[in-house]
Amino acid sequence: MTGQVINMMQQTRVPSGKKIFQCSECPKVFQGKSDLVKHIRVHTHEKPYQCSECLKCFSQKSHLMQHKSVHTQEKPCKCSECQKSFKSKSGLVKHMKIHTQERQYQCPTCLKCFENKSSLSLHMKAHTQEKSHQCSECLKDFSLKSYLIKHMRVHTQKEPYLCSVCLKTFKNKSGHMTHMKVHSHKRNYKCSECLRDFMNKSNLIRHMRVHTQEKPYQCSLCLTKFSQKSALKRHMRVHTQERPYHCSECLKCFSHKATLTQHIRVHTREKPYQCLECLKEFSDKSSLIRHRRAHTQEKPYQCSECLRDFSRKSILMQHMRVHTKEKPYQCSECLKDFSHRSSLILHLRLHTQEKPYQCSECLKEFSRKSHLVKHMSIH
């Protein structure tokens, strides 16, 4: 015990003659000396317990033991009702309220009940529309300061959570915690269908929807269903027109971070994806995958009507119009319908008299490239 801790301890007796221990920094009193020693660390910021895995320090041994479950994946606290396991007792206590229906905080507006006061306060802002925290960059309003802080990372690209193993950074704590499991090399959850391994149960549940085709998340506006909550969240931006990701070069806005990352390569000329066959480079992974099919002759998209195979989904969709007789493209001049956009573009030149293809020899112009190629044989 350090001298600083001893100086902050005061021993006294209550009228009953029982010893109590009082903190000299604040009015708090404790019945046991060990409890006072633990409390004093709040003032001294002493953290004597260190994790041997990630070197993080804690003020109490119980906090260290609870933290260690992050590395071991151990969940010692089990619910007696549904057998779900939790890393900490507090997590189990909070979960048990689902079974006991113990929700003592009620909203006076809609009568919805909550487990704790903070959840009720957060919910109340949905009725009051109180959004007192504004982003200085895009002027978007938020009901909580924590929401604003998270949002600001979109503009600053700040990633304050650092992995001590590979030095990768993350914008939020949850992303950091999930990543740390990569280094633990423990994959305890196996898919019974394809035998693929997962580090946590939630990832396995999401993966199983690939096999079950379950789509539990539905858009309230257009009723489209999704297998993942994150996919629904991204989809909602189609309706809200929200585009929170800004390009610092040209100020163009995007609804998805991946789209912004891909767009930035227009400015940087970066092409990180290379074909191992012909060494051709691409700015995005999807373009490389499509290109690879030229070498592998892979045609993963099959027509359900005639069983013909295609290398791209877009080509299959165009082909399907042969069977459905669908003609979604209409000429605004004569109202003639076409099954393909390219056919409509060619047709429109009859009205506009546009002839974009010119012979370099005699300067004669043509509306179609095939006509120019045929003409060139004369020269």
Check if the beta carbon of residue 180 is closer than 8 Å to that of residue 163: yes
Interval 28-42: pLDDT, tens? 888 888 888 888 888
> Is the pLDDT score of 76 beyond 80?
no
Identify the band that residue 154 occupies on the pLDDT scale cut at 50, 70 and 90: low
Say which residue, 79 or 97, is predicted with more confidence: 79
* Interval 322-351 mean pLDDT: 90
Q: Residue 12 — φ and ψ, nearest 5°? A: -145, 175
> Is the pLDDT score of 306 beyond 90?
yes
Distance CA 203, CA 11 (A): 53
What average pLDDT is seen over the chain? 79
Q: What is the pLDDT of residue 115?
A: 67
> Is the pLDDT score of 52 beyond 70?
yes
Write out the residue limits of the CATH 3.30.160.60 domain(s) in the chain: 105-212, 217-296
Among 38-42, 106-110, 320-324, 343-347, name the one with the lowest average pLDDT: 106-110
Check if the beta carbon of residue 142 is closer than 8 Å to that of residue 148: yes
Identify the band that residue 1 occupies on the pLDDT scale cut at 50, 70 and 90: low
Q: How many CA atoms lie within 13 A of 300 on its CB side?
A: 9
Place of tokens 């269908």: 193
> Is the pLDDT score of 356 beyond 60?
yes
Q: What is the pLDDT of residue 336?
A: 92
Long-range CB contacts (< 8 A, 24+ apart) of 59-63? Answer: none
Q: Residue 32 — φ and ψ, nearest 5°? A: -115, 145
* CATH class of the domain comprising 105-212: alpha beta
Q: What is the pLDDT of residue 100?
A: 60
Q: What is the pLDDT of residue 12?
A: 56
Identify the band that residue 128 occupies on the pLDDT scale cut at 50, 70 and 90: low
Identify the band that residue 337 occupies on the pLDDT scale cut at 50, 70 and 90: very high
For domain 3-44, give the fold.
Double Stranded RNA Binding Domain (3.30.160)
Q: What's at 7, amino acid-wise?
A: N
> Is the pLDDT score of 98 beyond 70?
no
Q: What is the pLDDT of residue 244?
A: 83
* Interval 337-351 mean pLDDT: 90
Q: What is the CA radius of gyration of the chain?
A: 32
Q: Helix 173-184 vs helix 61-72: angle between axes, to the nearest 10 degrees?
A: 60
Distance CA 217, CA 222 (A): 12
CA distances from 344 to 125, 248, 332, 334, 350 (A): 52, 38, 10, 11, 10
* CATH class of the domain comprising 217-296: alpha beta
- Helical H segments across the chain, by residue range: 3-7, 33-44, 61-72, 89-100, 117-128, 145-156, 173-184, 201-212, 229-240, 257-268, 285-296, 313-324, 341-352, 369-376
Interval 163-220: pLDDT, tens? 767 667 777 777 777 777 666 656 678 888 888 888 778 888 888 888 888 888 888 8
